[in-house]
Amino acid sequence: MPELPEVETVRRGMRAHVVHHKVTAVEVGRERSVRRVGREAVIDGLLGTIITDVRRRGKYLLCDLDSGDAVMIHLRMSGRVLVCDAGSEHPPHTHVVVHLAADDGAQSELLFVDPRTFGEVVVYDPRDEQAVIPELARLGVDPIEDEFNADVLEKVLHGRRGAIKSLLLNQHLVAGIGNIYADEILHRAKLRWSRPADQLSRRQLSTLATSITDVLAAAIEAGGSTLDDTQYVNVDGSFGGYQHEHRVYGRAGEQCVTCGKSRVVRVAVAGRGTWYCPRCQR
């Protein structure tokens, strides 16, 4: 599932390729991808508009239109946003096609591709955001978009007794971190996934805050992580590179590259894999 670095990479790719482009036609194949507002609202809301900006909150992509409306795209499990030349062959599971024209007349297509169809495309009036996409207002601090440091993290975790990993995954607290980056962040911070958040020292919180921003920044720099399923790709179809820098995620049984003395362990927590080094992470 794409996490903050993957969604940020897609945002940057979209920003480079679709901003200032005009929507000349819209095709919606699968209704499920536009289930929240329906086919008509997506087509009518997009047609004839110019995309003015592409933003991100947590794992949510938000496009601004010159009409004042906005587009929310959530990739969920397997969604992809691709930008291709007009007339290109579409990959299987392409559910939404937005035809675009640049100032110079060059034509391209923005595709929303989603084999598992958990993702969605929503066109909405930002004044109705609370009614249409109420989860946006409940998102926690974005560690890249917002000011983020040990003070912010301490405030966010204050009074929380849960295991630190489950709190990092809670989108209402810190938005954008999923299973891959939670494991990588905790490894860098030398913290075991199960550590109760309310027992972390100020120094540990500070290290954790730095680890969050460092790991996410490095992953964005590498274009995100494309796993063996190759579900995540950038808008031009290229793979991310951060999977080669994972220190624990998906590396059960391998020698820990940080300490070189213990093997990475995988445990199942709430049905999901958690990878850590029992020597580095206490």
Residues of the shown chain interacting with Zn ion in the complex, contacts defined by CB under 5 A: 256, 258-259, 262, 277, 279-280
Secondary structure class of 73 (helix, strand, coil) = strand
Structure-token pair, residue 21: 């482009």
26 or 256: CB nearest Zn ion: 256
The separation between CA 147 and the C-alpha centre of its own chain, rounded to angstroms, equals: 18
CA distance 108 to 124: 23
Among residues 56, 57, 59, 190, which one is catalytic? 59
Q: Is 2 a catalytic residue?
A: yes
Amino acid at 254: E
Minimum CB separation of residue 165 from Zn ion in Å reads 17
Q: Is 272 a catalytic residue?
A: yes
Among residues 2, 11, 184, 188, which one is catalytic? 2
259 or 267: CB nearest Zn ion: 259
Q: Is 5 a catalytic residue?
A: no
Q: Is 126 a catalytic residue?
A: no
Among residues 3, 6, 8, 109, which one is catalytic? 3
110 or 256: CB nearest Zn ion: 256
- CB of 135 within 8 A of CB of 120? no
46 or 189: CB nearest Zn ion: 189
- The DSSP call for residue 103 is T
Minimum CB separation of residue 190 from Zn ion in Å reads 9
Among residues 196, 272, 278, 282, which one is catalytic? 272
Minimum CB separation of residue 270 from Zn ion in Å reads 24
**What's the CA angle centered on 278, arms 256 and 199, to 5 degrees?**
130
Secondary structure class of 244 (helix, strand, coil) = helix
- CB of 152 within 8 A of CB of 140? no
- CB of 218 within 8 A of CB of 242? yes
Minimum CB separation of residue 274 from Zn ion in Å reads 15
The residues annotated with a catalytic role in the active site are: 2-3, 59, 272
